[in-house]
Structure 1
Amino acid sequence: MTSSRAVLSGALAAVALLASACGTTGAAPEGELPARVDGARQDASVARLDPDLRSAVRAAMRAAREDGVRVEITSGWRSREHQQRLYDEAVARYGSEDEARRYVATPDSSAHVTGDAVDLGPTDALSWLSQHGADFGLCQTFANEMWHYELATTPGGRCPEMLLDGTGRS
């Protein structure tokens, strides 16, 4: 129980960190995705996603919409500079690089920098994705980041076991 609380507490802190880093103006910072990806709105963040990941996310968004659930991409491809900024802010917030890596990857290890990861929301979409994401090959990668999805299986396959946090990949 305490372990679950610690993971949830850390996840909520990471959400707060990312929200403050990304701002609340509605405009997507460099390296970030707009809230909607519906084919009409493209930018480098969407274009630089792995094409298979982009297609899987769009297919999942359409299926979720049919179930009355809105899925939003809150973050996708990030430049190395943007990822470094997020990492530096996490180090300042958590007090050490070891603790920061639990929540924010370095530019060298971030799947966002390579275009192989997306962060999705809101909460009802995350619930839907936890049930249906694998139908599209989309898997939650880290137990402490319920919003972080990557292509980690074939559509309809089984997702691999989640890593506890980002340190499992470093």
Structure 2
Amino acid sequence: MSKTSRRVVTGVLVIVALVVSAGGALGYLGRLTLVFDRHPGKALAILAEVPGPPDGPPCPIDARYFDEKPEGLAPDVSRAWQALRAKAAEQGVQLCLNDGKRSRQQQQKEFDEAVQKFGTEELASRYVLNPPDRSMHVLGIAVDIQPIESAKWVEKNGSTLGWCRRYENEQWHFEYNTRYPTSGCPALEPSATGS
């Protein structure tokens, strides 16, 4: 190999190393977002760690519930939530997002609190999935809507926008799927555990 060829190869390797290093540094700082990176600055492997809001302002129509911001939901789900809320508002219905995105830690905390409330892990798991990775809240595609009258409106009207109730024992729990507007809602499962 001639001196010129070695210089070209060395120059190319140096440029590649600089580009990779700069990309890594920008990614670490959260300033480089790749097309498949749904949460800028967060690696896909840790999306389940992205927390949702722990609470929010009181629901204006029923202060027993929160109306949290849809932070942490997958971008398409967040847009679908806004569309659902706008359609409801057109018909004079207000939807409160009582619970949306959760991290694994938030889901585990919810489960632990449910065990305290219901007395056993078996009973708790009917309302809060464990292990956390099974929860659609952790994946950022589920919302809990309150009050129940608002949730009933979503059950009746939400499928056209991709929202379906999933569990018989949770009138408030809805999941988003782009197939629901054309395929309709799947049959309700008895509970989050399927039993």
> What is the TM-score normalised by the length of structure 2?
0.62
Aligned to 2:185: 159
Residues of 2 paired with 1:118 and 1:30: CA distance? 11
Alignment match of 2:56 (pick from 24, 27, 34): 34
Q: Is the 8 A contact 1:33 1:76 kept in 2?
A: no
Question: 126, 138, 141: which is aligned to 1:102?
Answer: 126
1:49 aligns with 2:73: yes
1:24-72 per-residue CA deviation (whole Å, 9 max, x = no partner) reads xxxxx96435359xxxxxx9x7332022221111111101101000011
- Give the Cα separation in 1 of the matches to 2:183 and 2:161: 9
Over alpha carbons, which structure has the higher Rg? 2
SS at match of 1:119: strand
TM-score w.r.t. length of structure 1: 0.70
The secondary structure found in structure 2 opposite 1:49 is coil
In structure 2, distance between residues paired with 1:144 and 1:61: 23
Whole-angstrom CA distance in 1 between matches of 2:54 and 2:185: 26
Residue segments in structure 1 that go unaligned for 5+ positions in a row: 1-28, 37-42
Work out the percentage of aligned pairs sharing the same amino acid: 37
Unaligned 5+ segments in structure 2 are: 1-50, 59-67
Q: 2:142 is matched with which residue?
A: 117
* Structure 1 ranges of 4+ moved more than 4 A: none
Corresponding position of 1:40: none
Two-structure CA RMSD over aligned residues (Å):
2.3
Q: Are the aligned partners of 1:32 and 1:77 in contact in 2 as well (CA < 8 Å)?
A: no
Paired residues in the alignment total 134
SS at match of 1:155: helix
Which structure has more relative contact order (CA 8 Å, sep 6+)? It is: 1
Change beyond 3 A, Cα 1:114–1:141: same
Aligned to 1:69: 93
